[in-house]
Structure 1
Amino acid sequence: MTPSTAAHAQMSLKDFETLASRAPETVTLEFINGRLGVKPVPDGDHDEIIMWVADQCMAHRPDLRLYRERGLRTEQYRNGRARPDGVLAPQRHFAGHGEWSDPAGVLMAVEVTSHDHDTEARDRQEKREGYAQAGIPVFLLIDRDSDTLTVYSEPEGGQYHQKDSCPYGGTLALPEPVGFSLVTEELKDYAH
């Protein structure tokens, strides 16, 4: 993603926000890299994985909450709009916010891949870059195609500079400011 992306956007940010606010509840829209995207409706395994992450966060960090589908302003100059599967932030952090929040104060974004044609570009590349550009300290990608977890950290200059991965069943350390490890044995129940 480059700063010039906004110049080649499919629509204005204001038009996107108007469209997104009027979309039916069965559709989740995002504006990533200047393009309108429709986020797939999650299946049951996707929901179970996100709930597993939420349970882990509550067990290790009861001062934090994993907010599902929280709208964030992402990318350089906040020209993107993403709805991560999960956003880890202090309890009550989003009180009083509108539909789209500034990412300041968010400790981690979480994405669980969907089984669709856009996953490669959307979850593995564009969102990762957008979260890094927004300065979100940790990005956790749970990849259901490869049955792996990857944690990205140390965002600087629009890129994450640290990366660590493990297969389902392994242990993955989430760096500060999250600061705990995930023991992922349960995720094997959702492998296909």
Structure 2
Amino acid sequence: MTPRTSDRPQMLVEEFEELARHAPESARLEFLHGKIGVKPMPDGNHGSIVVWLLKRCMQLRPDLELYPEQGLKVEAYRKGRARPDASLVPEGYFVGKGEWSEPDGVLMVVEVTSHDRDADQRDRIEKPEGFAASGIPVYLLVDRDLDSVTVHADPEGGVYRSVTTRAFGSVIELPDPVGITLDTEKLKDFAD
């Protein structure tokens, strides 16, 4: 078995944070499993999905905020750095937190796949592992390659014990502490 990159990271977390701080705005860097990754810049449909989710969350849970692109300390011992497409948090949670926040108050993270070759590894494997290890209760993956939404919930021991996938157009439950039911019919408009 080949050791994971996190066993021999490309650099220290502090070195990554310094690099990310000086990266151009067009480069959205993440540090998962000990290696640097670059998130692709979102296209119009990607952004429209995030806005659609933002509106749904505001309507159904006005006590919460769906905050785009906030950096989170993830993985075991908070040695990873991820910048999910959105994080659902209590109102005001990120005030004063800085570029990389502890995930303890995050109720849900959202990723919308981009059409790139790294999406499978990054969004379907590495991020669920990192978010589960951090104890984030819900991970919502809007998968534009498979025209589906997947809800990962009930993190324990670094994995989500509950994974539910539904096709665009279905109704899907975002379990507590989110407590939202999403009708995903509108996502068919953003399939490409």
TM-score tier, shorter chain, comes to over 0.9
Which residue matches 1:9?
Answer: 9
* AA in 2 matched with 1:153: A
Which residue matches 2:162?
Answer: 162
Give the match's secondary structure for 2:132: helix
- 1:41 and 2:25 matched: no
* CA displacement 1:11-49 (0-9 Å, x = unmatched): 111110000000111110000110001110000000000
Which residue matches 2:101?
Answer: 101
Following the alignment from structure 2 to structure 1, what is the Cα–Cα distance between the partners of residues 153 and 190?
A: 25
Which residue matches 1:124?
Answer: 124
* Residues 53-68 of structure 1: pairs in structure 2 closer than 5 A: 53-68=53-68
* CA displacement 1:49-94 (0-9 Å, x = unmatched): 0001111110100000011010000000000000000100011001
Which residue matches 2:70?
Answer: 70
TM-aligned CA deviation for residue 180 of structure 1:
1.3
Give the match's secondary structure for 2:41: coil
Aligned length: 190
* AA in 2 matched with 1:112: V
Following the alignment from structure 1 to structure 2, what is the Cα–Cα distance between the partners of residues 165 and 16?
A: 33
Following the alignment from structure 2 to structure 1, what is the Cα–Cα distance between the partners of residues 121 and 114?
A: 12
Give structure 1 regions of 4+ aligned residues with deviation exceeding 6 angstroms: none
- 1:87 and 2:54 matched: no
Following the alignment from structure 2 to structure 1, what is the Cα–Cα distance between the partners of residues 109 and 126?
A: 13
* CA displacement 1:83-125 (0-9 Å, x = unmatched): 0001000110011111100000100000000100100100010
Which residue matches 1:19?
Answer: 19
Following the alignment from structure 1 to structure 2, what is the Cα–Cα distance between the partners of residues 152 and 12?
A: 29
Following the alignment from structure 2 to structure 1, what is the Cα–Cα distance between the partners of residues 68 and 56?
A: 14
TM-aligned CA deviation for residue 6 of structure 1:
3.7
Following the alignment from structure 1 to structure 2, what is the Cα–Cα distance between the partners of residues 60 and 33?
A: 35
Q: 5+ unaligned residues in a row in structure 1: which ranges? A: none
CA RMSD of aligned residues (A): 1.2
Which residue matches 1:149?
Answer: 149
Contact 2:170 2:184 in 1 (8 A): yes
TM-aligned CA deviation for residue 5 of structure 1:
4.8
Following the alignment from structure 1 to structure 2, what is the Cα–Cα distance between the partners of residues 121 and 168?
A: 22
Following the alignment from structure 1 to structure 2, what is the Cα–Cα distance between the partners of residues 6 and 77?
A: 12
* CA displacement 1:124-164 (0-9 Å, x = unmatched): 10001000000000000000001000001000000000011
